Structure 1
Amino acid sequence: MIKVRFAPSPTGYLHIGNFRTALVNFLFARNVNGHFMLRIDDTDEERSSLEYEEAIKEDLSWMSMNWDSLERQSSRLSNYDDALETLLDKKRAYPCFETAEELSLKRKGQLSSGKPPVYDRSALKLSDSDIADLKSKGKKAHYRFLLNHTDVNWDDLVKGPSKYNMSNLSDPVILREDGRVIYTLASVVDDIDFKVTDILRGEDHMTNSAAQIQLFEALGSSAPRLGHLSLLTDISGSGLSKRLGSLSLRDLRQEGFEPMAISSLLSKVGTSDPIDIYKDIKKIIKEFDIKKFGKSKPKFDKNELSNLNSKFFQLMDYEDVINKLKIMKLDMTKEFWYLIRGNIKILEDVKVWINVCFGNIYTKNIDAEFISLALKLLPQDQFNENTWLTWTNLLKVESGKKGKDLYKPLRLCLTGQDNGPEMASLISIMGRDKVIERLSFDT
């Protein structure tokens, strides 16, 4: 069975880029009836919080992304200790005692002499007695994984044939001096233990993946299949910053964006498929194919997301939204929903149109003489969808106005809006008394 994992750190809210990774993994698994695991990477005790973990789960649930299993790295620390011991026994891990300041000086020296800033492996020269002596003096070791300086090759699910020469990479730290395990090791141990078959993540993990392939092998396992997605950029091509709160799922939700608008965009951006709105996730799952993702950097356009959000409401039947409207304590008829749904960008806009039809609005005085004539010519013997045509035909003859000169001032006066639903249906719902009220403002 195909098994994938989404592994967020509970150190903040889900950012749109990180969520895209979750969505791709979810769609990949569901497309083949596979297993989608949520793994909370909470080994950083200082920065991790239960509040953020709950927020991540709440956001995924809001997006209708159910997980098949849940694991926390904080409950598996002994597994990582065992893996480190295995690597030490195989001479594929070694202790280092340089401080952060000493390592920084080394890097500066390498750069100034034109050398790549790769760790020089000086700690490998330490004898057992050297190590014991340093520890007796209170020095704490961090541990590195000893890379084989060879080419690492893999057939990437997105990038195709990929290669990295490990001599260009420092031996990665896998355990900090304070005893905290590094993602590089913990993730590999988890993927082995939970039998993950495929890893889908951002292209910023390419070099990390190369090192982890050797880690898998050193721990007696073969690496899962790997796929590295091109990272989202903003519309200008710049990288999306996680510091931009407006690009967290939580804030998008508060702004009124619908889950299916977000999923419709993020499941297709960067693929060969056209971007369009979907009414539910099932069709997106059915159409998903990891091979459709390209190598170029996809752009996240919030305006495009807004357009999809509007299109989503145009697809919504009255029965689809009635429960949401009840939660908002909004009562409306089916007729009213079908009239206004084409003018809804977010569900809160429903309140605007309820107020337009039944509340108090500021009516713009475009042409007092014309509006006075309109009030005088308002038909007395009928008030339904035919009223608008009868009324505007009379006005056209009496005022000499036509086109936007005729219709725009009426719309502005009656609704306070530059555009909106068909006026024939709108005034029928508003009723004669409300129309007269709007036409009778103090000029």
Structure 2
Amino acid sequence: MTVIVRFAPSPTGYIHIGNARPALYNWLFALKNKGQFILRYDDTDVERSRSEYAEAIARDIDWLGIKPSRVEYQSKRFAVYDAAVEKLKAAGLLYACYETAEELELRRKLRLARKLPPVYARDALKLTDEQKAVYEAEGRKPHWRFLLPNFKNSPFETERTEVHWDDLVRGPQTVDLASMSDPVLVREDGTYLYTLPSVVDDIDMGITHIIRGDDHVTNTGAQIAIFRALSDVVPTFGHHNLLTTTSGEGLSKRSGALSVGSLREAGVEPMAVASLAVLTGTSDNVEPVATMEELAARYEPSHASKSNAKFDPADLTGLNRALIHHLEFADVASRLAEIGISGDKAEAFWAAVRGNIDHVKDATQWWEVVNRTEPYSDAVAAEDKDFITQAFDLLPEAPWGNDIWKVWTEAVKAATGRKGKTLFMPLRLALTGVGSGPELADLLPLIGREHTLARRA
């Protein structure tokens, strides 16, 4: 059996790191099992869906390293859903309901007041053709509910009906169909809710595994019933924990919280995002993983905890820094060129500075240091001015080798008697303007004698 998974985002906003988790989990599962990954846009909400959001989602998951086998749009498949509706109606499993939202809410409150579970009592099944005609004459349009198989003889006499599945993440799961209302599949205006198109597409596209957030666990019982009504095959389900902030707040696509696009623009590495999204809330250590293949080898659905996965956005910086420190010049050459870092000394420059930056783009500040032609007049303390003047007088002539820093500082030490921090810190401040950074033994050959002398105040 070929593993086939899907990621089905709604193109109604930009995806954030929480949305990226199911995309990554499905991709890693497909990668690990040599399967296929389908990007399927849940764009049946024509009013809110936007092509620019769909394009952004495609761009974001591609940046993360996810490569779909195919792309589907639910908005192009209404005829398939219409056919499924007719099949369910013909089987007596989809029935028309005429209650308004206000009437349903009132009935729910009455059931609660009577200490009854707030489930739909299937009153619409009692309507005669004449009563339906009256409602329609009033201008009411029906919504359509799926009749759950939670009874033996009468739909008004429900009984405990357990649906079982072995969840990839959570292990054995049980949902009682008698504890829930018949789900609405079609709205009054004829548009589809998420459930029907999702199940129909999963069947039609041969989806073998559905990996998604654990907010869908209860829905799965009803969806399995719909699968069985339409097909002989039910996919394997896995429900991972949801990602929240450290305070427990959920992430909102509409608020743009930690959108994948904003993280990309901020210079975060895609594998830092993937490492955090996948490993947070699992029994594995949250650490930087360099490649998607390595992350796929580590990924085990059952390692996820049952509680929400809380994360601190600041963790991304540490993960990013660790990944940056191991990137070779070939990995970043094109990105460095885009920000003006190129030429004969670019590779040696990257080797010198990568251990002191959090993002690739941060290298520009050190590129400016290397190429500066003015002194850092305010950086050196007054009591060190004479020392710096004397040190610059001792600057060796060209050509310079890679040992120039050692040669120079030994000469300065012999002439001034300074050593340790009193020797090195004033020189660092005079050369770079700051008290910490890359090794000066690596920077000084890149700065060169001419640019070094230019920093003499």
Same fold (TM over 0.5): yes
Residues in 2 aligned to 1:100 and 1:227: alpha-carbon distance in whole angstroms: 33
Q: Give the aligned partner of residue 358 of structure 1.
A: 371
Residues in 1 aligned to 2:380 and 2:391: alpha-carbon distance in whole angstroms: 18
What is the CA-CA distance between 1:421 and the residue it aligns to?
0.5
Residues in 1 aligned to 2:248 and 2:429: alpha-carbon distance in whole angstroms: 40
Taking every aligned residue pair, what percent have the same amino acid on both sides? 44
Q: Give the aligned partner of residue 201 of structure 2.
A: 190
The alignment partner of 2:96 has SS state of strand
Aligned pairs (5 A) from 1:6-405: 6-149=7-150, 150-332=161-343, 333=345, 334-359=347-372, 363-378=377-392, 379-382=394-397, 384-389=401-406, 391-392=408-409, 403-405=420-422
Q: Give the aligned partner of residue 452 of structure 2.
A: 435
What is the CA-CA distance between 1:167 and the residue it aligns to?
2.5
Residues in 2 aligned to 1:363 and 1:271: alpha-carbon distance in whole angstroms: 52
The alignment partner of 1:9 has SS state of coil
What is the CA-CA distance between 1:309 and the residue it aligns to?
1.4
The alignment partner of 1:200 has SS state of strand
Residues in 1 aligned to 2:361 and 2:92: alpha-carbon distance in whole angstroms: 62
The alignment partner of 1:299 has SS state of strand
Contact 2:84–2:200 (CA under 8 A) maintained in structure 1: yes
Instruction: Go from structure 1 to structure 2 and tell me whether the alpha carbon gap of 1:118 and 1:417 turns closer, same or farther (over 3 Å shift).
Output: farther
Residues in 1 aligned to 2:136 and 2:142: alpha-carbon distance in whole angstroms: 8
Contact 1:246–1:252 (CA under 8 A) maintained in structure 2: no
Contact 2:370–2:447 (CA under 8 A) maintained in structure 1: yes
Contact 1:309–1:346 (CA under 8 A) maintained in structure 2: yes
The alignment partner of 1:412 has SS state of helix
Q: How many residues align?
A: 440
Instruction: Go from structure 1 to structure 2 and tell me whether the alpha carbon gap of 1:402 and 1:138 turns closer, same or farther (over 3 Å shift).
Output: same
Across the aligned residues of Structure 1 and Structure 2, the Cα RMSD in angstroms comes to 2.3
Residues in 2 aligned to 1:158 and 1:364: alpha-carbon distance in whole angstroms: 59
TM value normalised by structure 2: 0.89
Identify the range of structure 1 (124-133 vs 90-99) with the bigger mean alpha-carbon deviation: 124-133
> Quick one: which amino acid aligns to residue 340 of structure 1?
V
What is the CA-CA distance between 1:285 and the residue it aligns to?
2.6
The alignment partner of 1:94 has SS state of strand
The alignment partner of 1:352 has SS state of helix
Instruction: Go from structure 1 to structure 2 and tell me whether the alpha carbon gap of 1:112 and 1:189 turns closer, same or farther (over 3 Å shift).
Output: same
Q: Give the aligned partner of residue 433 of structure 2.
A: 416
The alignment partner of 1:331 has SS state of coil
Contact 1:371–1:439 (CA under 8 A) maintained in structure 2: no
Instruction: Go from structure 1 to structure 2 and tell me whether the alpha carbon gap of 1:390 and 1:193 turns closer, same or farther (over 3 Å shift).
Output: same
What is the CA-CA distance between 1:439 and the residue it aligns to?
4.0
Residues in 1 aligned to 2:39 and 2:92: alpha-carbon distance in whole angstroms: 33
The alignment partner of 2:324 has SS state of helix
Contact 1:374–1:395 (CA under 8 A) maintained in structure 2: no
> Quick one: which amino acid aligns to residue 350 of structure 2?
W
Contact 2:13–2:253 (CA under 8 A) maintained in structure 1: no
What is the CA-CA distance between 1:431 and the residue it aligns to?
2.3
Contact 1:152–1:210 (CA under 8 A) maintained in structure 2: yes
Contact 2:14–2:253 (CA under 8 A) maintained in structure 1: no
Contact 1:364–1:412 (CA under 8 A) maintained in structure 2: no
Instruction: Go from structure 1 to structure 2 and tell me whether the alpha carbon gap of 1:275 and 1:363 turns closer, same or farther (over 3 Å shift).
Output: farther
> Quick one: which amino acid aligns to residue 448 of structure 2?
G
Residues in 2 aligned to 1:112 and 1:392: alpha-carbon distance in whole angstroms: 85
Contact 1:156–1:228 (CA under 8 A) maintained in structure 2: yes
The alignment partner of 1:348 has SS state of helix
Residues in 1 aligned to 2:176 and 2:422: alpha-carbon distance in whole angstroms: 71
What is the CA-CA distance between 1:102 and the residue it aligns to?
2.1
Contact 1:119–1:170 (CA under 8 A) maintained in structure 2: yes
What is the CA-CA distance between 1:211 and the residue it aligns to?
0.9
Instruction: Go from structure 1 to structure 2 and tell me whether the alpha carbon gap of 1:70 and 1:434 turns closer, same or farther (over 3 Å shift).
Output: same
Residues in 2 aligned to 1:402 and 1:218: alpha-carbon distance in whole angstroms: 83
Contact 2:339–2:364 (CA under 8 A) maintained in structure 1: no
Residues in 2 aligned to 1:232 and 1:289: alpha-carbon distance in whole angstroms: 17
Contact 2:212–2:238 (CA under 8 A) maintained in structure 1: yes
Residues in 1 aligned to 2:395 and 2:413: alpha-carbon distance in whole angstroms: 18
Instruction: Go from structure 1 to structure 2 and tell me whether the alpha carbon gap of 1:370 and 1:385 turns closer, same or farther (over 3 Å shift).
Output: farther
Identify the range of structure 1 (257-266 vs 336-345) with the bigger mean alpha-carbon deviation: 257-266
Contact 1:25–1:36 (CA under 8 A) maintained in structure 2: yes
What is the CA-CA distance between 1:112 and the residue it aligns to?
4.6
What is the CA-CA distance between 1:89 and the residue it aligns to?
2.3
Residues 408-443 of structure 1, C-alpha deviation per residue, up to 9 Å, x if partnerless?
A: 443334213332100222123212333333341xxx
Identify the range of structure 1 (422-431 vs 101-110) with the bigger mean alpha-carbon deviation: 101-110
The alignment partner of 2:198 has SS state of helix
Contact 2:375–2:456 (CA under 8 A) maintained in structure 1: no
Contact 1:364–1:413 (CA under 8 A) maintained in structure 2: no
